[in-house]
Amino acid sequence: MLWVLVSTFAAALCATALPTRRSVTDLSSSQISAWTSPAYFASAAYCPDYTISAWSCGSACNGNAKPTSVTGGDGGSTPRFYIATLSDNSLVVAISGTNTSNDASIAVDLEFPLTSVSTSDFPGASGVEVHTGFLDAFERLKGSVTSAVQSGVSGGATNVLVTGHSLGGALVHLTATYLQKLLGTGVTVTAKAFASPRVGNQAWANYVDATLGSNTQHMINFNDDVPHVPPRDWGFQQSSGEVWILQGGTTYESCSGQENSQCSDSLESGLDEVALVASFVNDMDSSEHRGPYAGVK
């Protein structure tokens, strides 16, 4: 009888100690290729306004047909962005990453404290907090983006892609979630972010997942540290939809759930939190952070 009790207890202990194994699946070549066009749009967001208007920004523009575009941002406290109307009448909102030669742009990344979001922008967002700098940057571009997107929707657009790299990737999560709430179920908003830092707390990650579902994804290149800042111990959490590029750049994995320990979290830097944050700006110029993503830098 004692042996049965000991065995039962041991089995129960082992069962509770083992973590749930979440699924990881390899992307097919066609699934990887579906990221190429968004990557070109995200890359083009770093270009000056006049090259976007003329669609003459080199390889980043050559990757997609010339759209009709509205541009904005200053490359400082407000990242450069553009809203493009494509030939099929769909819309693209593309947002640039940090301008590492501009102190005001860098300062956006370093405003780490969590701030509550407005429930007028994010209805029902109970307990939701996000990175102060990212939220402030979102507020600065929100008006122009909203006006251009609503104009496109009035013209018949029913699909909106929001894409961006690094800081732009963080703003993808905020902008896409905001637009989906604003535009309602008659419009499908898709978020494809590249190398996005963590944006908000657990409640925020859950809110993004509930709002966008499978239409939100973020791509991480091997051991890039930027997507692991700010640290989880500071209350930050990535939303679902990670696509992880393995070393060598030929295998891409779709990682279920939030912060899947079998994907990029498995290589999270051994640096302590202070050192990780201190290296944040330098990491933006690392080869892992720059890509390529689906063949695009």
What CA–CA distance (Å, rounded) separates 289 from 123? 33
Please report, for the chain, the start and end positions of each structural domain, with discontinuous segments joined by +.
22-290
Alpha helices by DSSP H, 34-102: 36-44, 49-54, 59-62
- The structural architecture, per CATH, of the domain 22-290 is 3-Layer(aba) Sandwich (3.40)
Residue recorded with tokens 């051994």: 270
Greatest extent of the chain over all pairs of C-alpha atoms, in Å: 82
The per-residue pLDDT for 21 is 56
Q: Which residues of 166-203 form beta strands (DSSP E)?
A: 188-194
DSSP strand E in 155-279: where?
Answer: 159-165, 188-194, 216-221, 242-245, 252-255
Read off the tokens for 189.
């908003």
pLDDT tens digits for the chain (297 residues)? 433 333 433 444 344 343 445 799 999 999 999 999 999 999 999 999 999 999 999 999 999 999 999 999 999 999 999 999 999 999 999 999 999 999 999 999 999 999 999 999 999 999 999 999 999 999 999 999 999 999 999 999 999 999 999 999 999 999 999 999 999 999 999 999 999 999 999 999 999 999 999 999 999 999 999 999 999 999 999 999 999 999 999 999 999 999 999 999 999 766 567 777 777 888 898 999 999 999 999
Report the C-alpha gap between 193 and 227 in whole angstroms: 11
Query: What are the two backbone dihedrals, phi and then psi, of residue 148, each rounded to the nearest 5 degrees?
Result: -70, -40
Q: Would you state the pLDDT for residue 281?
A: 80
Residue 11: its pLDDT value, please? 43
CB 43 within 8 A of CB 60: yes
pLDDT value of position 278: 72
Predicted confidence at residue 270, as pLDDT, reads 62
Would you say the C-alpha torsion 260, 262, 263, 265 has a positive or negative sign?
positive
Sign, CA dihedral 238-243-249-251, equals positive
| pTM of the complete model beyond 0.85 | yes
Torsion of CA 256, 257, 261, 265, to 10 degrees: 100
At residue 24, φ and ψ (nearest 5 deg) are -135, 125
